[in-house]
């Protein structure tokens, strides 16, 4: 972010716009390359590329594959000679990616998609719904009308804006979802193998000797297909080991109840409740929740992992830099982005109109937050 709290790509865009409007860059004049802009502004190439893509989307520049970006002649500009003409990139060579937020994992997905689209002569436009159902709806309504060829959608949930996504699909507008899929619609999706990740976690914990394994998710099971599949994997692993699923140690849908002012008390009460129920390991929805529980467990005097094992999901950077490095499940975000880009190009070019549900393999990342369980009675007495 800039000093004025503007995203860096916006700062670059505004600087280029000013130079175009002032005549410093004239129609058909070549702009600095992505690499040059990145070096001049001290940003990543992804950031400079996004600035150019957004300028192109606004109709201020055009891009020629293998040549560069050029100022587009606007109405009222005098002719400046023929300029570059062959192979101009227009809006039907743009794919829009709609994300709920921007973090390291999302940047990896963007890179995977962008690298593939570059190789096919397409460009990627990035949009952030900021976890807002209304903003996601606005983007889903607006993007198809503005000319891009298709949408790669990371939905905020699989129960929001389903009616609109139905309409997009039945209107034959190319769309691929990532991270989640819709059971009710034959829309192509690219997701991590969340079922396998949930199964792998519970199975590894059972192999360590845990039988009382809690499943904790801040959102409800039905809210996202990713969490639902992780839970189903958890249940299948316990069943395969002939361990009954105890719904009293499955805690979900509490995100509305946790505020900065009460988070510590909330998580400590949750941990105490689970310990009193005989829990020796917690399988969580994602790394951030796992880290919150881990930190509070340590502050309560519990030894992690000797007295309580905790496992996350995602292999976020935070998992490596917490007091007790977190065991977790890794996702291949780059491959998810690359595969989604490949599949949407196939749709656009009509080389493959079939419905695909692609599951990208996940991996077990063992660190220091898991071990065989200790004497649960002594832990219960300590908490009590």
Per-residue pLDDT of the chain (384 residues; tens, 9 = 90+): 544 567 888 888 888 988 888 778 888 788 998 888 888 888 888 888 888 888 887 888 887 766 788 888 765 444 443 333 333 334 568 999 999 987 766 789 999 999 999 999 898 989 999 999 999 999 999 998 887 899 999 999 999 999 999 999 999 999 999 999 999 889 999 999 999 999 999 999 999 999 999 999 999 999 999 999 999 999 999 999 999 999 999 999 999 999 999 999 999 999 999 999 999 999 999 999 999 999 999 999 999 999 999 999 999 999 999 999 999 999 999 999 999 999 999 999 989 989 999 999 999 999 999 999 986 656 666 665
* Structural domain boundaries, residue 137: 90-187+332-360
Neighbour-count burial for 311-342, b at 16+ CB within 10 Å, e otherwise: bbbbbbebbeebebebbbbbbbbbbbbbbbbb
371 shares a domain with 262 = yes
CATH number for the domain spanning 21: value is 1.10.10.10
State residue 68's pLDDT score.
81
Please count the structural domains in the chain: 3
351 shares a domain with 252 = no
170 shares a domain with 109 = yes
State residue 28's pLDDT score.
78
203 shares a domain with 57 = no
Pairwise CA distance, residues 314 & 262, whole Å: 26
143 shares a domain with 73 = no
Q: Tokens 């908490």 — which residue?
A: 383
What is the DSSP track for 334-355?
A: HHHHHHHHHHHHHHHTTS--S-
The answer to whether 168 and 140 are in contact (CB under 8 A) is yes
372 shares a domain with 225 = yes
Pairwise CA distance, residues 278 & 132, whole Å: 38
State residue 379's pLDDT score.
65
User: Which of 57, 74, 89 delimits the end of a domain?
Assistant: 89
State residue 292's pLDDT score.
97
163 shares a domain with 112 = yes
374 shares a domain with 250 = yes
160 shares a domain with 142 = yes
CATH number for the domain spanning 123: value is 3.40.50.2300
What are φ and ψ of residue 309, in 5° steps? -90, 145
User: Which of 30, 55, 89 delimits the end of a domain?
Assistant: 89
290 shares a domain with 151 = no
155 shares a domain with 242 = no
State residue 81's pLDDT score.
37
268 shares a domain with 217 = yes
User: Which of 64, 89, 114 delimits the end of a domain?
Assistant: 89
State residue 4's pLDDT score.
56
Pairwise CA distance, residues 279 & 181, whole Å: 32
């Amino acid at each position: 972010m800039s000093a004025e709290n503007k995203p860096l790509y916006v700062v670059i865009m505004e600087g280029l716009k000013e130079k175009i409007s002032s005549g410093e860059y004239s129609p058909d004049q070549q702009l600095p390359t992505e690499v040059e802009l990145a070096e001049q502004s001290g940003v990543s190439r992804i950031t400079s590329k996004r600035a150019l893509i957004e300028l192109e989307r606004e109709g201020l520049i055009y891009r020629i594959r293998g040549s560069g970006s050029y100022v587009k002649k606007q109405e009222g500009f005098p002719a400046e000679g023929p300029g570059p003409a062959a192979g101009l990139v227009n809006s039907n060579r743009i794919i829009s990616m709609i994300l709920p937020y921007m973090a390291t994992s999302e940047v990896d997905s963007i890179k995977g998609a962008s690298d593939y689209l570059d190789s096919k002569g397409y460009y990627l436009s990035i949009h952030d719904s900021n976890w807002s159902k209304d903003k996601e709806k606005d983007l889903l309504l607006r993007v198809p009308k503005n000319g891009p060829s298709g949408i790669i959608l990371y939905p905020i949930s699989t129960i929001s804006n389903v009616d609109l996504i139905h309409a997009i699909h039945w209107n034959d507008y190319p769309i691929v979802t990532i991270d989640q899929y819709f059971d009710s619609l034959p829309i192509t999706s690219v997701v991590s193998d969340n079922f396998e990740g949930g199964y792998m976690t519970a199975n590894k914990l059972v192999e360590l000797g845990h039988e009382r394994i809690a499943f904790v998710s801040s959102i409800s099971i039905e809210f996202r297909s990713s969490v639902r599949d992780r839970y189903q994997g958890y249940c299948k692993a316990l069943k395969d080991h002939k361990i009954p699923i105890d719904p009293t140690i499955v805690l979900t849908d509490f995100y509305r109840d946790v505020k900065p002012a009460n988070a510590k008390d909330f998580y400590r009460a949750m941990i105490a409740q689970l310990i009193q129920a005989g829990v020796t390991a917690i399988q969580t929805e994602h790394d951030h929740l796992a880290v919150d529980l881990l930190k509070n467990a340590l502050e309560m005097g519990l030894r992690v992992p000797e007295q309580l094992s905790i496992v996350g999901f995602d292999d976020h950077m935070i998992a490596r830099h917490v007091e007790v490095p977190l065991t977790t499940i890794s996702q291949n975000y780059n491959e998810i982005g690359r595969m989604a880009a490949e599949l949407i190009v196939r749709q656009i070019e009509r080389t493959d109109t079939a419905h695909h549900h692609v599951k990208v393999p996940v991996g077990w990342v063992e660190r220091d937050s898991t071990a065989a369980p200790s004497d649960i009675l002594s832990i219960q007495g300590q908490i009590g």
